[in-house]
Amino acid sequence: MFPHKASLLARTALLLVWLPALAALAGCGRFSRTKQCRTLIAQVNPALDDVLTLTHGDAGILSSGGYVAAAGRYERLAKQLGPLEFATEDMAKNVAEYAGLLSTAAQQLRSLAAALDAKNPTEADKLNRDLERTVASERAVIARMDAWCQP
């Protein structure tokens, strides 16, 4: 009778040892996800601040040179996002889609700068509308990434 009790105590003791370990692993996943989101945020937010400054300057004046510089900043950000790894395939796809949209926006900004320099308002208006559609797509991807990052 005692051996059975000892076996039960051993199982209970083993369970008490493994439960915190399993809970820690579950928390580790959450910690890892939080760390991944913070890394993403640390890459994206300063770049977007730079783009805003480059495109609007200190006086809020738009310039073709600012658009070209912003395009370069978008391209650098897209490259920085490439090596980041995420806990789920869905998030990795969202970040890859976001990087693609950044590259598209960079191309559109360069074309818009060229249209402004050529004093071609019709082309500039068309490119501006294209850029607005890209920004709308970007917002949708950002919303998905933000939802993934929420606890």
Question: What is the reported pLDDT for 29?
Answer: 53
23-56 pLDDT, tens digit per residue, is 333 444 566 888 999 999 998 888 888 888 887 7
Range with the poorest average pLDDT among 57-61, 112-116, 135-139: 57-61
- Distance between CA 143 and CA 90 in Å, rounded? 13
- Distance between CA 73 and CA 124 in Å, rounded? 21
Hey, how many other C-beta atoms are within 10 angstroms of the C-beta on 42?
A: 11
50-80 pLDDT, tens digit per residue, is 888 887 765 555 778 889 999 999 999 999 9
Residue 102 CA from chain centroid, whole number = 11
Q: Which of 107, 120, 125 is nearest to 70 (CA)?
A: 107
Burial annotation 106-138 (CB, 10 A radius, 16+ → b, else e)? bbbbbbbbbbbeeeeeeebeebeebbeebeebb
Question: What is the reported pLDDT for 54?
Answer: 82
pLDDT(144) > 60: yes
Q: Which of 79, 74, 151, 148 is nearest to 112 (CA)?
A: 74
pTM: 0.75
